[in-house]
Amino acid sequence: MTRWLAEQAWLPDHAAPTPDVLIEAEDGRFTAVTPLARGTSPQTGVEVLAEAGRLPGLTLPGLANAHSHAFHRALRGRTHGGRGDFWSWRDVMYDVAGRLDPDSYLALARAAYAEMALAGVTCVGEFHYLHHGPDGRPYDDPNAMGAALVEAAAQAGIRITLLDACYLTASVAGEPLAGAQRRFGDGDSLRWAQRVDGFRPAGPHALRGAAIHSVRAVPAEQLATVAGWAYRQGAPLHVHLSEQPAENDACRAAHGRTPAGLLADRGVLGPDVTAVHATHPTSADLALLAEHRTGVCLCPTTERDLADGIGPARLMADAGIPLSLGSDSNAVVDLFEEARAVELDERLRTRRRGHFTAAALRDAATVSGHAALGWADAGRIAVGERADLVTVRLDSPRTAGVPPVGVFFAATAADVDQVVVDGRQVVRDGRHLTVDVPAELRAAVAAVTGD
């Protein structure tokens, strides 16, 4: 039995945090959550309180990073100068993609995931398409790159949903993969499914999921194969959707409908599906996503970094579309920044304030993100849930004087002080317990970039 006494804890269905909460866990699950301000329970004696670990500040459920490309971490600070757009940025990304192998990817992902742990992330959804060797030939173990990511998450101390992405063509028109893209492809969706069937993630910290990279990368007649695999497995399915207007235009030219319309026609949309970005949907697209109870993962720091645009988050929420959050390109790893950007970007889009409550932003960063990744038993400080805790300092230069309910509008990843994943402490006093994160990031990035 492990006990913590949280100075402030944000409990489910509460609009604001609760002071003085005794939290107990055993075997990685919460067994009791007792707000002491309401009167201690008969079992809560002096000895119990004395042995409880103190959590000064605000304690939240674990944060879920629902969309990550771990290898993009090597691009941070290298792609931000000069002019261009998503398509010019992609060329630089492909250059880095061509240099990785299972060993260097393990080192880079371990450091990137440890950085996420420092930021309060207890689970990551890795949208994985870097499958084969640089020339497109499979490794002896055709899932060696995916296995490296699963092992990296274990070493960093967080959970992972490996969203194995089907990536077959270079355009909606069906152009073949070339250059660095060759290592993404399996030839066709049946061979993709055969490869994924052969992979069993090692360890209870990992789940297997699926991804359709985009309508650019999977021909229309093969979309159902990927979706069918996910549905049969009961696995989450993610897909990049309407990230740029050019994607919408190309899909209309080829198929006479938007990407969302094409996915609906091919039976892809559903309650276990998450559309990533959905930055440029039509009103009909939003209606389709809502009708099929398909979620949307917003990645505001990447969407603005790549000049993709601002998605209609409030319209999505009003339609009943579940919202989650991701760091995507990992140019920034800060779920507090992603969360408040949902509100602040909506203010820019509408020129009005007050679209999302603090509790709604918390839910997008926690319970909704975990659900999108297939971890329905995480993201809430409640009995029976996974024992994930993130404690944020309330005495930093950013949070001093801020009421606890205002943390998502004030804190940054640097204010995370303690992180517990499945009952195990991973971060203490703002430091990762097993990974020297700055040193390992420097070494792993240098190995890939040559700097």
Q: What is the pLDDT of residue 42?
A: 47
pLDDT for the residue numbered 93: 86
Share of the chain above pLDDT 70, in %: 96
Q: What is the pTM of this model?
A: 0.96
Give the pLDDT confidence of 43-86 residue by residue, as tens digits. 555 566 767 899 999 999 999 999 999 999 999 987 776 666 76
The low-confidence residues of the chain, meaning pLDDT below 50, are 42
Look at residue 92 in the predicted model and tell me its pLDDT.
82
How would you label 415-442 residue by residue, b for 16+ Cβ within 10 Å and e otherwise?
bbbbbbbbbeebbeeeebeebebeebbe
Residue 228 is predicted with a pLDDT of 98
Q: Would you name the residues annotated as active-site residues?
A: 277, 328
* pLDDT, tens digit, 9 for 90 and up, residues 309-318: 999 999 999 9
- Cα 336 from Cα 361, distance rounded (Å): 9
